[in-house]
């Protein structure tokens, strides 16, 4: 399945090399929730509205294994007072479920996620949401599952 812990900033770097509409206001929102009771944030967007782009941007900003200052220096987030405080300071887990889910349910996908993070040293809260692709818009049902993965400390 590949390495999903600390994926670096190459995904966002590729996006910045093309025409890019600044969406770093999302980073400002996430920064305001770190270490607060609101720390769990759900980014819900319709299909084809940039969830993967947003995830790659967040990975590049928070991933502690890379230096992303050059990617963000000219974007709105660079003017925020918390910009440097959180830039490249955290472990990041990035899972792109589009290649895994297909017609699978959340119950069938959880083992894939657990394999992806196996051996990670900290506890992780795994959150999965899937939608019924066959249903008409407005009639789509979803499944949600939250499971704690206990890392080795």
What backbone phi and psi angles, to 5 degrees, belong to 11? -65, -45
Tally of domains within the chain: 2
Please tell me the number of Cα atoms within 13 Å of 6 on its side-chain side: 12
CB of 12 closer than 8 Å to CB of 56:
yes
Dist CA 71 CA 17 (whole Å): 10
74 plus 128 within the same structural domain: no
Please give the pLDDT value at position 54. Answer: 86
63 plus 84 within the same structural domain: yes
pTM attached to this predicted model: 0.68
Which three-class secondary structure state does DSSP give residue 151?
coil
Please give the pLDDT value at position 36. Answer: 83
Please give the pLDDT value at position 78. Answer: 96
The residue with greater pLDDT, 143 or 85, is: 85
Please give the pLDDT value at position 2. Answer: 47
Q: Which residues pair with 127 in a beta bridge?
A: 146
Dist CA 139 CA 135 (whole Å): 6
Identify the domain containing residue 131 by its residue range. 95-153
Q: Which residues pair with 128 in a beta bridge?
A: 145
99 plus 87 within the same structural domain: no
- pLDDT higher than threshold 90 for residue 8: no
Say which range, 40-44, 55-59, 77-81, 107-111, has the weakest mean pLDDT.
107-111
Please give the pLDDT value at position 14. Answer: 83
Rounded to a whole number of angstroms, the CA Rg of the chain reads 16
Domain final residue, candidates 94, 123, 144:
94
Per the structure block, which two tokens stand in for 46?
């319709």
Per the structure block, which two tokens stand in for 75?
């974007």
86 plus 118 within the same structural domain: no
Q: Token pair 């003017």 is at which residue?
A: 79
46 plus 73 within the same structural domain: yes
The residue with greater pLDDT, 35 or 60, is: 60
- What percent of the residues of the chain are helix, what percent strand, and what percent coil, each to the nearest 5? 35, 15, 50
89 plus 99 within the same structural domain: no
Give residue 147's pLDDT band: very low, low, confident or very high (50, 70, 90). low
10 plus 82 within the same structural domain: yes
- pLDDT higher than threshold 70 for residue 104: no
Domain final residue, candidates 94, 121, 144:
94
pLDDT in tens, 42-56: 777 666 777 788 888
Q: Where are the beta strands (DSSP E) in the chain?
A: 124-131, 142-149
CB of 15 closer than 8 Å to CB of 57:
yes
User: For all residues of the chain together, what is the average pLDDT?
Assistant: 77
120 plus 89 within the same structural domain: no
């Amino acid at each position: 399945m590949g390495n999903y812990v600390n994926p670096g900033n190459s995904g966002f770097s590729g996006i910045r090399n093309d025409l890019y509409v600044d969406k770093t206001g999302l980073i400002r929102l996430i920064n305001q929730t770190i270490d607060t009771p609101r720390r769990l944030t759900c980014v819900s967007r319709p299909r084809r509205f940039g969830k993967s782009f947003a995830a790659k941007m967040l990975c590049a900003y928070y991933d502690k294994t890379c230096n992303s200052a050059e990617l963000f220096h000219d974007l709105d987030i660079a003017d925020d007072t918390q910009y440097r405080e959180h830039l490249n300071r955290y472990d990041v887990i990035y899972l792109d479920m589009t290649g895994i889910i297909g017609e699978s349910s959340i119950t069938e996908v959880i083992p894939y996620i657990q394999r992806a993070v196996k051996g990670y040293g900290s506890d992780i809260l795994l959150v999965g949401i899937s939608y019924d692709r066959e249903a008409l818009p407005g009639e789509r049902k979803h499944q949600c599952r939250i499971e704690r993965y206990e890392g080795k400390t």
